[in-house]
Structure 1
Amino acid sequence: MRFASAIVAAAAAAIASAQVVFPFAPEGPCVAACTDAAGKSFVPFYNDVDPNGPFFFASLAYTFERGTPTAIAFMTKAGTCMNDCPMDEQNAYRASYYPKYNWYVANKPAVAPARRR
């Protein structure tokens, strides 16, 4: 029985220490500054660059949980800022949006459904 418990504990530790790989390069410093400023205007812990940071997926939700009031406000703020960015960075952002969205949907942690009372 102890052996089985040790195996389960080792497996849990291996899963917890697994590194997330976000296979996308930044679109450029201007776009990165816009998304960072927009995100930090909502929450100070916003982080869309460190895939192993504790707030990475929560931060990506601002961009990719489409149609929510928070995502709409975030995208409006970030997009307004990006209008002043070089066109090559804007084009790179547009080109990477759906691949990043698909990656986010496939990799985001499952959220437990709310309990009914």
Structure 2
Amino acid sequence: MRFASAIVAAAVAAIASAQIVYPFAPEGPCVAACTDSVGKALFPLYDDVNANGPFFFASLGYTFNRGSPTTITFMSQAGTCMNTCPMSEQDAYRASYYPKYNWYQTNKPATGLRRA
């Protein structure tokens, strides 16, 4: 019985320490600065970089919870800022939007907060 308990405890520990893998590279420093500055203006704990941070999924929600008032505000302000970015970064952002959106929809927790 002790052995089975040890196995269960090890499995729980492994699941609890599982790392989230966000398989996308930043589009560039200008686009990253836009999303970060707009995100932090709306939500001071905004963090769309640290996939294992406590506010990662909540932060991605500003971009990918389409139709919400928060997303409309975020995307309008970030888009205005991104208009000053190099076209290569803007193109990279547009190309990565739907793959990131699909990843977010598949991986987001039901609460919109980080998975435990």
Q: Normalising by the residue count of structure 1, what TM-score does the alignment of the two structures yield?
A: 0.88
* Equivalent residue runs for 1:29-108 within 5 Å: 29-108=29-108
Between the aligned partners of 1:74 and 1:8, the Cα distance in structure 2 is 43
Give me the identity figure in percent: 77
Match for residue 115 of structure 1? none
Between the aligned partners of 1:19 and 1:42, the Cα distance in structure 2 is 27
Moved over 3 A (4+): 1-9
Between the aligned partners of 1:48 and 1:37, the Cα distance in structure 2 is 11
TM-superposed CA distance for 1:109, in Å, is 1.2
TM-superposed CA distance for 1:102, in Å, is 0.4
Match for residue 110 of structure 1? 110
Question: Which amino acid in structure 2 is aligned with residue 96 of structure 1?
Answer: S
Match for residue 20 of structure 1? 20
Root-mean-square deviation over aligned CA pairs:
1.6
Gaps of 5+ in 1: 113-117
If asked which structure has higher relative contact order (CA below 8 Å, sep 6+), I would say 2
Kindly tell me the number of residue pairs found equivalent between the two proteins: 112
TM-superposed CA distance for 1:100, in Å, is 0.2
SS in 2 for 1:44: coil
Between the aligned partners of 1:72 and 1:48, the Cα distance in structure 2 is 17
Q: Normalising by the residue count of structure 2, what TM-score does the alignment of the two structures yield?
A: 0.88
TM-superposed CA distance for 1:13, in Å, is 1.8
Gaps of 5+ in 2: none
